[in-house]
Each structure stands twice: as structure tokens, then as C-alpha cells.
Amino acid sequence: MNSGPATDPENLEFRNIRMSKTPAILWFRNDLRIEDNPALFAARESGHPVIPVFILDDNIEHAPGGANRWWLHHSLASLASDLEKAGVKLILRRGDSKKVLHGLVDETQASQVFWNRRYHNSQIEIDKALKSELTDHGVSVETFNGNLLREPWEVKTGSGGSYRVYTPFWKSLRAMGPARNEPLPRIRKINSPDAAPKSDKLTSWRLLPSKPDWASEFPTEWTPGEQGARDRLNDFLNEPVAHYSDGRNRPDFDYTSKLSPHLAFGEISPTKIWHVTQDRIASGEITQSSAEKFLSEIAWREFSYNLLFYNHQMPTTPLRSEFANYPWRNDEQALVAWQKGQTGYPIIDAGMRQLWRTGWMHNRVRMIVASFLIKDMLINWQDGAEWFWDTLVDADLANNSASWQWVAGCGADAAPYFRIFNPVTQGEKFDPNGDYVRKYVPELAKMPAKYIHAPWKAPQEILEKANVSLGKNYQKPFLDHSQARQRALDGYAKIRQN
Ligand code: FAD
């Protein structure tokens, strides 16, 4: 940074000159959209030419995993195209985000910087430091809530504290509603500077996998970008939402919105989702009860962000301290079998293979596979969270760590530790015909529904008819659930004694 502090009168003069001629920088992070984007809206309203920038910083804590990077590539391509239509070029830079941003301010003589806030300590520290350094040098910095219905510090308990239990949190948030009474409009025209600063080429970042291209099936499943997010919301509200409250636990149907990756990258805001849903209720197109259930799930996301904001250690440390001493097993071979979907429990294997093939897994199955890893296999939840982080297109630090802690029983408002999912009865209940298993575990495609969730119980003639040879073309279950369950409960008893 070259200029002196803003409090210096000479410098104020310099700042005024700067203000009249210089551009505003809009720093995109996890808000890759041009509709209902408060930071972009304010940058445009400033009347200054706008330089939109995205910085790829690989040296941060919790840098994006592989599937996230695939999504990021396509999302940036889509954002760049939308911005180009509005008249500006998206600038791509790589490196330490503080250095890069300082460099860009110097290079362009920008007088203002705008961004939407982030909520993990590691991000907040970067943003706070930048804000104070830039302000000291006469650059104005304005920050906004772009990604939550309400800021974590706005949703308070009666005594002014933060919520640790979901139901009263949702009640309070429900009563407040979103901070914006309506979404901000889509930006159609943005003033650009006379000359755009240099930008990296997106392809030079090599965000896409090549050898092997493990994401080859992703494009049939997903359309990253703002238009894809809008279409996904409309499609969901046109039909599946009617089945949502009863059917959202059924992985064999497409009854959930699949908006999670779009939300994780900020291609659509929860505020927009909230208002579009309420408008559909008001016009009588959808019923209040199914829509309310959907909005209450959006509120789980808000709750996770609240927990992350007030518990920065959540991604790495159990919120209930007694779990720090849980006797986890270190079993690399078992972990790999779980990752590859080769445990011999069909619902687990289907879920893990859905994750690998599509970058996403149904919520009910996420709970079952997580419970299996933690409680049946006795492997630390953090190993599971890490695998999800690398393989989910919707990997989201708040949702992922809050959900893993919830299943493990060590988080705030967590499921009790002794609730241990039985993978066979869960499969029978939520995939009663076995269609979900058949889709992702083709070895079992011909198994009748009665035995598909426990093929080892099937008579030999049924196995033969279905071309299943246990131990040869499909694994035998690699542990016994009832024994494993007891082992988990014994481990829990130990930490409770301590
Ligand atoms: P819908 O049912 O249509 O819900 C709409 C939106 O509400 C979702 O897109 C999501 O943003 C939010 N939401 C729904 N359920 C939850 C929930 N339980 N917790 C928080 N937010 C929720 N979600 C992620 O976005 N990223 C993750 O990294 C992630 N990791 C998870 C790990 C585990 C072990 C578990 C059990 C759940 C995890 N979830 C995560 C939560 C949930 O599984 C996904 O948000 C959901 O499956 C996404 O599908 P959808 O968009 O169709 O959800």
C-alpha cells in the first residue's frame, strides 16, 4: 500500500481525488451471483466503475476440496459470462488473498472495496485485517450480509445469548423473517473501468480433474451457476415441494431441492429462496405446510452458521468436550472400504457410491453412512467429515461440521450418542423397494426387495437367481451390526465415567 493514513489532511485531499476518478472493487467469495447480492448492488450504486474480482487462495484453512473445485470452475465461468453481459470483466487472481487485494487496490487506485461477510474465524481474521489496513490507507470498505437470512448476532435468546438448540432458534428466526423485505434486483448494467486489470485464465487454475476424470458424470446431474440455481428452485417449487414433508427422507425419489451446492457457492441467496417460496404460498400455488418444512431446513443451514460463528473450533473439535477422549479405532482399511462403498451393507455402499459418482448424497443416507462410520466402525467423525469435504459438491464448512457433530452426538443440540442407526432397517424403511440401492449398487440389481438390504439373509437359490455371489461379486458385511453397536455403547460408557 503506497498512500499514507487517511487521517493525514494531505492524504484526505488525495483521497478525494481518488474518490472521483477511481474504481470500486467488488470482491466475490461465496456469493457468485448478480441477483440479490448486496455488496455488488452497493458497488454499482456507488456510481464508480466496478472491478469484480475472485481470488483463489489455496493456502487458507479449509481450502476447497476436489468436487468443490469442479463446481467452482463452472460457477466462475457462469458468473464471468453474466458479468460480461452486464458490461464488466471478472478478474481472476491467485495467491494470498490479502496480498492480492492490496496489490489490486494499488494497481487500480481503487477508492472503495465491497464484499459480503464470511463467518469462520479464519475468514473473519483475514477480512478484519484487510478492512482495517485498507481503511487506514484511505480506502473505504463496506461489508454486507449476502449469505444468511439473518446475521448470527441478530438471532438472540431471551437473555441475549446465542442459541444452542435448533427449535427455539427456528422459532425466533421464523418470527423475524429475512433482513431484506425483498431480494435486491438482478444487476443488468455495471460501469466498467476504461481498462480492465490483468486476469488469470480460468483454465490455467486447473480446477477440473483430468487423469482420471472422476467428475465425468457430474454434468448430467448439475448445472452450476446462477441460472442453474434459479431453475432448480423453480423446478422444485413446481412439483417436488408438494411431497417434501412426507417424502424428503426417501432417497429413492427426487423430493428434495438439491439446492445445496448452489447455496454453498452463493449462486442463490436464502433470502431469494425465502421470498419466492412465500410468494408461491401467497398465490396458492403451494401449501403452507410443505413450504414451511422446506424453509425450516433452510433454517438448519442458518443454525449451522450460527454454531460456526460462535464455535470457531467446530470443524476440528467436539463441542462436547468429553468426546475428545473417545476411544476411536485407527483402521485405514475399513475407512477405505467405507469410502469406496464396499462395506457389504447395501444402503451404505449405495450412499458412498452416489457421493463418488455425483458429488452429492441424500440427507437421510448421509446420516446413515455417518452413523455407520462413527458408531459401527468406531472411526473418528473427523475422518468422515474430511472425506465429505473432498467429495461433496456442496461441501460447506458450517453444514458439514455441524452435521457430523450432530450424528456423532458430540455437537450442540446433537442426536443422542446411543441412537445408532441399524443400516438394514433404515434401508428397509426409507428405500422399501430397494430402487436406490439398485441404482448405485448394480451387483444387486436383480435382488428382490425382501433381501436387498441384507443379501446375506437370502436363501442360496435367490442369490443365484439374482447373480449374487457373496464374497465374490458383492462383499459379505465386514462387521456385525449388533456387536458393533454394543462396542460403541461401551466406548460411550467409558467417556462418561471419566
Ligand atoms: P433440501 O432438503 O432441499 O433442503 C434445502 C436446503 O436446506 C439445503 O440445500 C441446505 O442448504 C439446507 N439444509 C437441509 N438440510 C440441512 C441440514 N441437515 N443441515 C444444514 N442445512 C440443511 N449440507 C451442506 O450443504 N453441505 C455439507 O457439507 C453437508 N454435509 C453434511 C454431512 C452430514 C454427515 C450430514 C448428515 C448432512 C450434511 N449436510 C450438508 C446437510 C444436508 O444433508 C444437505 O444440506 C442436504 O442433503 C442437501 O440436499 P438438498 O439441497 O436437496 O436439501
CA of 240 to the centre of ligand 1 (A): 16
Q: Which atom of ligand 1 is nearest to the CA of 262?
A: 9
Residues 6+ apart with CB under 8 A from 371: 407, 420, 421
At 290 the pLDDT is 87
CB 398 within 8 A of CB 266: no
CA of 355 to the centre of ligand 1 (A): 13
Is 366's C-beta closer than 6 angstroms to any atom of ligand 1? yes
Q: What is the CA radius of gyration of the chain?
A: 25
At 18 the pLDDT is 44
Residue nearest to atom 10 of ligand 1 (CA): 260
CA of 362 to the centre of ligand 1 (A): 8
Q: Is 212 exposed, middle or buried (0-12, 13-18, 19+ CB in 10 A)?
A: exposed
Reply yes or no on whether 153 is catalytic. Answer: no
Cα separation of 98 and 487, whole Å? 48
CB 392 within 8 A of CB 355: yes
Residue nearest to atom 42 of ligand 1 (CA): 363
At 498 the pLDDT is 64
Reply yes or no on whether 300 is catalytic. Answer: yes
Chunked in runs of 10, what are the mean pLDDT values of the chain (498 residues)? 38 44 95 98 97 95 95 98 98 97 97 98 97 97 98 95 96 97 96 95 96 91 97 97 94 97 98 97 92 97 98 95 90 97 98 98 98 96 97 98 95 82 98 98 98 98 98 96 92 78
Sign of the Cα pseudo-torsion (160, 165, 167, 173, in order): positive
The SS3 of residue 54 is: strand
The grid coordinates listed for 403 are: 452435521
From first CA to last CA, the distance across the chain in angstroms is 54
CA of 399 to the centre of ligand 1 (A): 7
Residue nearest to atom 25 of ligand 1 (CA): 260
Reply yes or no on whether 404 is catalytic. Answer: yes
Label each residue of 199-264 as H, E or C: CCCHHHHCCCCCCCCCCCCHHHHCCCCHHHHHHHHHHHHHCCHHHHHHHCCCCCCCCCCCCHHHHH
At 50 the pLDDT is 98
Helix and strand numbers (H, E) in the chain are 22, 5
Residues 6+ apart with CB under 8 A from 53: 25, 26, 27, 28, 90, 91, 92, 93, 101, 104
Cα separation of 187 and 183, whole Å? 12
